[in-house]
Amino acid sequence: MEYIKGALASIIDNKARSLLTMLGIIIGIASVITILAIGNGLKFTVGGELDDMQSGGVTMVINPKKTDKFLTGNEVRAIGEQIPEAYGASPSVSAYMDITGRYKTSGSIRGGNENAIYGQTESIVSGRFYNSDESESGSAVAVLTQEGAVMIFGTTDAVGKTFELQYGSQSREVMVVGLLRSTEEQIKNAYPRSGVESYNYPTVYVPYTLLTQGFGMPGENITSYQIFPHPGEQDPASLRARRVTENILGIRGEGAVSVQSYASMLATFDRILNIVTYVVAFIAAISLIVGGIGVMNIMTVSVTERTREIGIRKALGARTDSILAQFLAESAMITLIGGIIGMLAGYGLTFIVSHFMSFPPRVEIADVLMVVLISTSIGLFFGIYPALRAAKMDPIEALRYE
């Protein structure tokens, strides 16, 4: 305790120098925190989205390298009818758009046909799902979750209301025809908010043709679609979907039509994220080591400058370990303070970055503890040499030092 107080006093006495010494640690910790927070946020968002899709169905992909053929919306519907192990099949187009209802927000727009209802875990509570005619005619109708309705209109009483979807310079007025159930909890926690800083955004289900015809997004020539297998029948359903698709298109061969596995997508995503994490962690580690060496350097200078003080302390009865503790406390405090500043800077940076990247940063208590632990350890480790030098000084020579 006494040592920590002394260490703080000494750091404050040498503000400018202490801050410069901390710089390496600050940069190192800031980059660690930034990558962790961004990584967590990204994992959370993208992971969540992938989970979503996975719950909805199995995606079948026609390999554009093997054939330039494609399916029409009616063919997709027909495929679904030929798979006894599945509820149906639907095209799948999605986008992220600005939404203006009573409130302005933005959200994920998922386009499909009437079978997309089978991708939902929750049922319709009011109104209806869009039908097959609307699916193919580019109708401006939409189904929301109750949670999404609150975000857009401030109420779950949204059937019949209209809102505007905006994608680039184009916009369309869309009418709500149905609502999917949300939990009480979700409804309670949903409130109108705008922009990318919100952790939750509404999901809007529309006919895929609204996106392809209405907004001119690619997808009218269908090269991938979703099937919604009965529980536990994913494998036979997707196998049959493959055969049927091959028949319709008149193509054969390994990989012409394939199942897109979300587990593998998730794994790929994780791998990329991990590589990025390792690269940044490597840079951070180097800057932490450089920072640590800087601390060692400054502490060595400080020990030399304070030789006389060390002599005095020893003469007054300081033991070797008291001196050791005093200087270790000082280097640990320097790196700890540097670590905390770095952490704050890192979170600041994360919030700025996440603002442009439309996903929520995640601050985790474990990260904070890790910063405290790492930065203190660096101070202790790189402080050992100068502290030992101080502790081993001969009191007479130290007292004589000018």
Partner 1 sequence: MEKLVDVIDVCKIYNPGENEVRALDHVSLSINAGEFVAIIGQSGSGKSTLMNMLGCLDTPTSGTYMLHGMDVSHMTDNEQSDVRNREIGFIFQGFNLIQSLTALENVELPLVYRGVPRKERTQLAQKALQVVGLGNRMDHRPQEMSGGQQQRVAIARAIAQAPPILLADEPTGNLDSGSSREIIEIIKKLYREGRTVILITHDPGIAKQAKRIVTISDGRIKSDIINPDADV
State how beta strands 86-91 and 203-207 pair.
unpaired
Query: Quick one: which H or E segment has residue 327?
Result: helix 320-357
Among 77, 313, 362, 389, binds partner 1 (CB under 8 A): 313
Q: Which stretch binds partner 1 (CB under 8 A): 142-150, 290-298, 314-322, 373-381?
A: 314-322
Residue of 7, 10, 18, 83 interacting with partner 1 (CB under 8 A)? 10
Nearest to 372 by CA among 12, 25, 21, 13: 25
Q: Is 13:326 a contact under the CB 8 Å cutoff?
A: no
Instruction: Kindly tell me the sign of the dihedral angle through the C-alpha atoms of 93, 101, 360, 22.
Output: positive
Q: How many amino acids of this chain bind partner 1 (CB under 8 A)? A: 21
Query: For residue 390, what are the contacts with CB-CB under 8 A and spacing of at least 6?
Result: 303, 306, 310, 323, 324, 326, 327
Q: Which stretch binds partner 1 (CB under 8 A): 27-35, 129-137, 250-258, 303-311?
A: 303-311
> What is the Cα 275 distance to its own chain's centre?
15
CB of 285 to partner 1, least distance (A): 34
* Min dist. Cβ of residue 381 to partner 1 (A): 24
Residue 74 zone, left/alpha/beta (φ > 0; ψ -120 to 50; rest): alpha
Contact flag: residue 46 with partner 1 (CB under 8 A): no
Q: How many CB atoms lie within 10 A of CB 230?
A: 14
Q: Determine if 317 is a binding residue for partner 1 (CB under 8 A).
A: yes
286 binds partner 1 (CB under 8 A): no
The answer to whether residue 320 forms part of the interface with partner 1 (CB under 8 A) is yes
Q: Please report, as a single letter, which amino acid is at residue 211.
A: L
CB of 332 to partner 1, least distance (A): 19
Q: Does 9 bind partner 1 (CB under 8 A)?
A: yes
Tokens of 98: 């600005």
Q: Is the dihedral of CA 375, 291, 38, 51 positive or negative?
A: negative
Ranges of beta strands (E only) in 101-223 are 104-112, 124-127, 141-145, 162-167, 170-180, 203-207
Span interacting with partner 1, options 112-120, 216-224, 344-352, 394-402, rule CB under 8 A: 394-402
Q: Tell me: does residue 250 bind partner 1 (CB under 8 A).
A: no
Q: Which of 16, 316, 365, 366 binds partner 1 (CB under 8 A)?
A: 316
315 counts as binding partner 1 under rule CB under 8 A: yes
Which lies closer to partner 1 via its Cβ, residue 355 or residue 392? Answer: 392
399 touching partner 1, by CB under 8 A: yes
Given the rule CB under 8 A, which residues bind partner 1? 2, 9-10, 13, 308-309, 311-322, 395-396, 399
